[in-house]
Amino acid sequence: MENKNKLVDVVKQILTSSEVESTIHDYYTEEEKHSLYGNLLKNDIIGKMIFSCEEFSEVESIEIVDSPAFNIIESANRATCKEVSTLMLNEDTKFKGKIYIYSIQLSHENFDMNSFMNNGEDDILLTPTIYDQNTFTPRKGITLFFSPETAQDMSLPVCIYNKNGEKIETNKFKENMHKLLDKALDNSEKYKAKGFRKIIVRGYFPEKITSSNITVKVII
């Protein structure tokens, strides 16, 4: 059985390609730069990459719509107006039957708070930006990981003599923490917390969408 690509990987690949990135930066707002819709989804190359992904393997047909509200022709004399809904995909989400797609986008960066307790690289972790709920002031934090046992041992004063024979008492633990802090401030990109993005699809889905054989809730 052929292994198909996952939608999140393909969308990331498309959004970071130089050709698409140029188009997005020229015509899209900052919020839209993580989105694909309209002519981009209708593009032969991009459309083939996206709609051959695993998530669409059980779909009968896909129609790209240009508006959040659109008409479906049900008969020669009758059309029904439909509105798109929003779906955040799980790892094994699959669409069924005929679907109507308005946009496919990456969510904002998400973070697993439990993973913050895992040591970052070089025992350093820079938190994502957190906004104060009242003042909207942005804040970031720096976490330095260490072993309490090692810290206790290293906190014992150590006598060192410089080249002039002067005696200096130093705290190796504090000295080590200062070095870690300097590394964090000098290379913040390297030590920032690793987040993840999910795929959000806006569209109209007449048939049930499944994930682990459970119907996925569509957000209106």
Predicted TM-score (pTM) of this structure = 0.68
Q: How many CB atoms lie within 10 A of CB 151?
A: 14
181-184: long-range contacts at Cβ-Cβ below 8 A with a sequence spacing of 24 or more? 181/142, 181/144, 183/122, 183/124, 184/124, 184/126, 184/142, 184/144
Pairing of strands 97-106, 59-64: parallel
- Strand partners for 196: 110
DSSP state of 2: P
**Per-residue pLDDT of the chain in tens (220 residues, 90 and over written 9):** 456 889 989 998 888 776 666 655 555 555 556 788 888 888 888 889 999 999 999 899 999 999 999 888 776 678 888 899 998 888 888 999 999 999 999 888 888 777 666 656 788 888 888 888 888 898 888 888 877 776 565 655 555 555 565 655 567 777 788 888 898 889 888 888 888 888 999 999 988 777 665 555 554 4
Domain boundaries in the chain? Answer: 7-110+196-215, 113-191
Residue 46 CA to residue 214 CA, distance in Å, equals 29
